[in-house]
Structure 1
């Protein structure tokens, strides 16, 4: 792994270096070097404990208008599939634009390297009673297969547009534009709902910490909503006016994350000796009492797997640094493969640390504070001040997650609109030349998330329906790519990283895993739920509605404006 780190960091030393030639963006604009952030991405994307950000410098040479890229040269490969040389939808071409003088959007704009670790912490309460450490281990290995299949696409088409471009290349000629549109639509919605989930979870954790510090305080829905809006507002301010400080924030966060991880891993295990004691290894790995759901062991195992799957991040996130790497077709697949493999150590280690501390399972599964890890820390650490410090460590880490989620969501939507997609592409695809930020997409993210989380004041179950859409939207985004790859496996362009004969099997396995996760995503956590709607997941009704909106957007404007500058061969 050390060789991989050195290899990737060495590739970043030239700033931007695309597939065809090299260009040092940071040196030209006098910006801070971006090397540490590549290291951040490799480490933090690989661990569900962390949240990450990547700084992808962009290649100069394009205006914000929807015009054809002069480097979009169609190349017919030996397999007979069109491959576009040097294609990137993120570049600029107006040499007189103020954006070219200093471009924080280009140098500090996050396109989507986010691991939604905060969902994993909430999911621990269910994972511990629905499969324990084995569910986490199985989920990590399965996620590695999904990342591996997508890594092959990244090597074939190493562009910042990620799934949007993969769909265009893999789908049949008549379906290229429409298929790419719907993949980009579902991906944009996936990032948007991930932002909401991040901020709502942090809001509940802040309210839970307040309740822990003051037993007389009872958190109310309006309090959680107000905290949520405050988090969204602060994130929006930073993403609008503090983009130049993003490098410093991310560098500081790297140290914070690494130190915090070891604090969380070591302190409970050390303190448990004098507080709750240790659980025997045999009980940790073989005790069937972990299944407290009432379901059979297999169903409970799969529900536990689905419950924490969102904690492993958005697989295509790393593709958005394609212009930053010297050899994106080689380096990015390496990082995508290593990310879940490192999670195999870090996430499983955290889960085992929880299990080896002899805290009653029911304490974490049915948390009195609503925040399972606070009750876990209270039982193991046994010191109110120590628990508060450890919770603050995690809350800050997750605040950065919210910041990056909002930034990722706004950049993903901006990219989609820049190609003529989404509603009002002429507005959402515009860059403010003064702030050098896609202001409208940041504001849209803030208003949309703040408005939709008003559901907290009426029905938290209704809000959870939207927050739990990530698994289904992931299937809508990546499922069609795997199907298209299986159908035309012998014909599509192969990059330096190729799965070879194993590709067909890996793509089928990844598709089956995604389908299984989505199916069990809808199961109630408790078999004897007795009509308790809060224990069920109704996003099976929401996701079709979201995709129907995409269909309306396609017929309203997308079919006339989306990717019209691309040649269909």
Structure 2
């Protein structure tokens, strides 16, 4: 950037220097958010029309607990059953609270759509700032794309699985699944473009629709002819379908919970469309304060999702029928058959599935919204090939339509994996969980390595528990990289049953590495931070 870059506006309250000789400002309630954004080196291009409830709704939509746990049920059933379903959810919920709290603390200092890659740049030392930003940016962007792909694909499988409720001999083909998947992506793209002014209402409605899914639990418990004992629901464990040793099978089965609870950090990409982002986004991710500045570690969206998951999953354990037929369904989506067996009615099962698919619609739209904003923000700083095209905000609609299209096309191409592997959905969920997890961990790691100096006076501080919470975040995510590249079951007898998470991850990593070698290492300087550039140029 030119040395004559505009001087930053620094509010009175600041945190220690970030290493560039520039103090890190902390925003107060009355600060002008546009000036705060300009201070970080960006101009306001998107409309700020999202409130607290809408952001919380978006976060809830992306996690989509009843939908996410339903589409990944076969993973938990294969790797342990009820114990994995229940205690895996509790364990991952607690870890997710630590991760979300760590991100919320950082987000309260740097409320920009760049999210994790901006945070990594600001929390790193000047020498490694650009590389840290580039690495995190790619991880976050790929994570957003694959979350969108996995959500859309899982719902597409459920739609075709609905047909088997009335035609048990029907076996969906790979091409049929892909066509439904591509159609859903196209529909989501069109809604994001032409109904953008209604996204705020859609996100809010999502909260109520998800709450209405309690109908599913009430129906299953009331219509079930056979209910399992408390001992079965709370302690039955069978890892034999997986072929893994019992303890390892339980960890592999954590993908169900980890995938469902991984999308909360994606709302950071909406920072520049939120009123009072320094307060609203962390709350939605979700930090909340209590009396006398003592802050809780509860993150609203994750805490709400954790409770929702327990309310949904525990009753499932009590009505769970024989697992063998559920694992043999051709669609790889056992939940519709579970509904049918428990209710004894195809119509009732379809009605319950309709509630799940409603959540899926919100999740598909919301995840593509977040993915496009993440792509746009990273392109704005030149991190993606063709950034000049993807960073454009359409003046008519006021949104980055080109980034929306790119995100949709990438997801559409990922769907081709299913034509060669029936385990494509597991690959999407694995890559999404790994990439988003790594993108969350990296800025937290940078903060830890530098003694948490840059977040010491954050509006939402973790205080004396910050080091412990941050360490839990980094350790768990590091372990999950290995964990979620594992196949759900062994032995892997053919290419179609292989977990392609590592292949997809390696593919995107190769693209990122090649682009860095031929272009980014010379031209990518990290997020635009005008004052930092001035200091760093001398």
- The bucket for the TM-score relative to the shorter chain is 0.7 to 0.9
Separation in 1 of the partners of 2:155 and 2:265? 24
Separation in 2 of the partners of 1:219 and 1:449? 21
| 1:127 matched residue in structure 2 | 76
Say if 1:410 and 1:441, in contact at 8 Å, map to a contact too: yes
Which residue among 24, 28, 45 is the counterpart of 1:83?
24
Separation in 2 of the partners of 1:394 and 1:120? 10
| 1:115 matched residue in structure 2 | 63
SS in 2 for 1:295: coil
Over residues 135-154 of structure 1, what are the superposed CA-to-partner deviations in whole Å (9 max), with x where a residue is unaligned?
A: 11111112112122222212
Separation in 2 of the partners of 1:217 and 1:365? 16
Which residue among 226, 230, 233 is the counterpart of 1:284?
233
Which residue among 183, 186, 196 is the counterpart of 1:230?
183
Separation in 2 of the partners of 1:535 and 1:177? 39
* 1:203 matches 2:156: yes
Quick one: structure 1 residues 413 and 219, their matched pair in 2 at CA, closer, same or farther if it must change by over 3 Å? Answer: same
Say if 1:167 and 1:481, in contact at 8 Å, map to a contact too: yes
Deviation at 1:250, TM superposition (A): 3.5
* 1:339 matches 2:301: yes
Which residue among 271, 279, 286 is the counterpart of 1:328?
279
Over residues 382-419 of structure 1, what are the superposed CA-to-partner deviations in whole Å (9 max), with x where a residue is unaligned?
A: 11111111111211220221111112111111111122
Structure 1 gap segments, 5+ residues each: 1-66, 94-98
* 1:247 matches 2:195: no
Say if 1:188 and 1:413, in contact at 8 Å, map to a contact too: yes
| 1:470 matched residue in structure 2 | 432
TM-score, normalised to structure 1, is 0.78
CA RMSD of aligned residues (A): 3.0
| 1:362 matched residue in structure 2 | 324
SS in 2 for 1:523: coil
- Range with bigger deviation, 386-395 or 292-301: 292-301
Which residue among 144, 154, 172 is the counterpart of 2:107?
154
Quick one: structure 1 residues 493 and 288, their matched pair in 2 at CA, closer, same or farther if it must change by over 3 Å? Answer: closer
| 1:12 matched residue in structure 2 | none
Quick one: structure 1 residues 291 and 492, their matched pair in 2 at CA, closer, same or farther if it must change by over 3 Å? Answer: farther
Quick one: structure 1 residues 282 and 506, their matched pair in 2 at CA, closer, same or farther if it must change by over 3 Å? Answer: same
SS in 2 for 1:302: helix
Separation in 2 of the partners of 1:126 and 1:236? 29
| 1:543 matched residue in structure 2 | 505
> Comparing both chains, which one has the higher relative contact order based on Cα–Cα distances under 8 Å and sequence gaps of 6 or more?
2
Quick one: structure 1 residues 481 and 436, their matched pair in 2 at CA, closer, same or farther if it must change by over 3 Å? Answer: closer
Which residue among 54, 68, 92 is the counterpart of 1:139?
92
TM-score, normalised to structure 2, is 0.82
Separation in 2 of the partners of 1:279 and 1:354? 10
Quick one: structure 1 residues 366 and 280, their matched pair in 2 at CA, closer, same or farther if it must change by over 3 Å? Answer: same
Separation in 2 of the partners of 1:169 and 1:256? 38
Deviation at 1:178, TM superposition (A): 2.1
SS in 1 for 2:454: coil
* 1:294 matches 2:256: no
1:239-278 paired onto structure 2 within 5 Å: 239-259=192-212, 261-272=213-224, 275=225, 277-278=226-227
SS in 1 for 2:24: strand
Say if 2:11 and 2:25, in contact at 8 Å, map to a contact too: yes
- Range with bigger deviation, 435-444 or 452-461: 452-461
Separation in 1 of the partners of 2:460 and 2:473? 17
- Range with bigger deviation, 542-551 or 195-204: 542-551
| 2:375 matched residue in structure 1 | 413
Which residue among 499, 502, 517 is the counterpart of 2:462?
499
Separation in 2 of the partners of 1:307 and 1:384? 26
Quick one: structure 1 residues 432 and 80, their matched pair in 2 at CA, closer, same or farther if it must change by over 3 Å? Answer: closer
Separation in 2 of the partners of 1:262 and 1:375? 19
Separation in 2 of the partners of 1:69 and 1:115? 39
Separation in 2 of the partners of 1:339 and 1:440? 29
| 2:136 matched residue in structure 1 | 183
Separation in 2 of the partners of 1:478 and 1:142? 13
Say if 2:143 and 2:436, in contact at 8 Å, map to a contact too: yes
Say if 1:127 and 1:136, in contact at 8 Å, map to a contact too: no
Deviation at 1:268, TM superposition (A): 0.4
Say if 1:90 and 1:415, in contact at 8 Å, map to a contact too: no
Separation in 1 of the partners of 2:459 and 2:49? 27
Quick one: structure 1 residues 69 and 134, their matched pair in 2 at CA, closer, same or farther if it must change by over 3 Å? Answer: farther
Say if 1:461 and 1:533, in contact at 8 Å, map to a contact too: no
Structure 2 gap segments, 5+ residues each: 27-35, 289-297
Separation in 1 of the partners of 2:488 and 2:455? 43
SS in 2 for 1:288: coil
| 2:294 matched residue in structure 1 | none
SS in 2 for 1:414: helix
Over residues 99-139 of structure 1, what are the superposed CA-to-partner deviations in whole Å (9 max), with x where a residue is unaligned?
A: 8xxx7x54369997422544422222222442231111111
Deviation at 1:68, TM superposition (A): 6.0
Quick one: structure 1 residues 90 and 248, their matched pair in 2 at CA, closer, same or farther if it must change by over 3 Å? Answer: farther
- Range with bigger deviation, 145-154 or 448-457: 448-457
* 1:524 matches 2:474: no
- Range with bigger deviation, 194-203 or 328-337: 328-337
* 1:303 matches 2:265: no
Separation in 2 of the partners of 1:216 and 1:292? 24
- Range with bigger deviation, 188-197 or 330-339: 330-339
SS in 2 for 1:289: coil
SS in 1 for 2:17: coil
Deviation at 1:326, TM superposition (A): 7.2
Deviation at 1:216, TM superposition (A): 4.5
